[in-house]
Amino acid sequence: MKAFLILPTLLLATPAFGHAPMLPPDLADKINLSDDVADVGEPPLWHQKALGHFQARYRLTIQGVRCIAYTIRLDERTDGKVLGTVKSWNGCKQDAPYEQRGFHLKAEQMGELKAAFAKAELWEISPQFWQFRDPKDGICIDGEEMTFERRDGAGYRVAQANAQCEAPCILVLAAQKFITLAGEVPALRLLN
């Protein structure tokens, strides 16, 4: 029942962006982020208006060779409260409906997630990419892209890696923490 009460609040708290693209123009050809993310109503976090009255906003999007895709967004308010939104959709079906639910994180949970980000050295540079874990792995053409985004007073940061091919284990653990805290356990299978 809480999810239904949270969602109208989240929708009202998100500034309107018109037809702004999901990525800044200088990154549009470097980061693979599907238009589906905008189609499910997610805001472009790179935009100056994206921070709004929040202290920080974080998003993990997982999409790739499997039809199901997820985006998990955390909106950290200046009073320390963290509101979350999970959206999932079937990327193999045109105009398929998406599912959405809201949730809250406690301050200590947000601290755990930030510690996982720091341990993974996430957003040390932006944009941030990874190469193959081991050259012996050969060519990897399948898998799920994990796109991590952060918008705060310091600006916009983005990092992307393929969960099965390029992502170091510590980055996959950060994604697992993000997903687990959001309570979206089915999304964990996309990281295997």
What is the tens place of the pLDDT at every residue in 91-137? 777 777 889 999 999 999 999 999 999 999 888 867 765 555 566 66
For residues 37 and 16, give the distance between their C-alpha atoms in angstroms, rounded to a whole number: 15
How many structural domains is the chain composed of? 1
Nearest Cα neighbor of 75 from 184, 172, 182 is 182
Cβ atoms 33, 46 nearer than 8 A: no
Non-local (6+) Cβ contacts of 88 within 8 A are: 68, 69, 70, 71, 98, 99, 184, 187
Non-local (6+) Cβ contacts of 132 within 8 A are: 140, 165, 166
Q: Does the pTM of the predicted model rise above 0.85?
A: no
Residue 166 has pLDDT above 90, yes or no: no
Cβ atoms 124, 158 nearer than 8 A: no
Cβ atoms 89, 99 nearer than 8 A: yes
Range of the domain at 77: 2-191
Residues 37-62: tens digit of each pLDDT: 888 889 989 888 899 999 999 999 98
